Structure 1
């Protein structure tokens, strides 16, 4: 009988301790949230079983939050300067043009090409460059369909064109 009573006394404490451990594991190991969810459930059940009054429950919640706050501070410190920052969890390499990386739609190959407008540019519209139809923007001027244009600037997917004289095309 005494053994069963001792087990009942230790059960809420074990639930609280194991719940805190699971929430701390969730802080350090990113994932779906199963350890954190189970930890919170164990914390609520453990505090509910352990507390004899509302004041004791509030005190236990404050203690658990203080322990988790210290653990969170340690986790954040570890993520910026500690062991977690040295693990390959976050990509630190830059994927920029200077490093030789290009996006799948690098439009700069069209820079300097001459083509003809398919629609009226006021200031946006379409133009054909050697059989490739592109959405283009004029440098502010109104350009009629069929006029020759040259690509003067490329900013990502934005292609800036200027009108050419009829004899330049």
Structure 2
């Protein structure tokens, strides 16, 4: 029998040894889904052809609901083929997008440890300055204190019973 059209089908993309593309697990899963959908479409077409071969013989004995479902089967297979083609297109777009974003992710990987080190150094400097006598008072006077003053508590209400 025949298999569905494989327009735009490409062999699986293997990442190069030097580059790591984020989302490769997602891409592999999507490609596996495309393969499964194409296999299911091929099996559905085969089943439709077998069903068409026996349709004339079974037309007399076939209930009307089953005949209606069998009549809709070619349209359903065509819709499945269109969906597989769209999925292939989407996977190709995702692959191109991730390839374009790969240098950005590599830059983030190099930049983030440096930013973390700068933040840790700043925290160390603030900790050392907090230990210097008079810095807390100076901060409160200038209004540049790192600890905001808590708002005053509202006065407590007395709970006397009125008689």
- Tell me: higher relative CO, structure 1 or 2? Use CA pairs within 8 A at least 6 residues apart: 2
- Give the TM-score taking structure 1 as reference length: 0.27
Which has the larger share of strand?
1
- Give the TM-score taking structure 2 as reference length: 0.28
Say which one has the larger Rg: 2
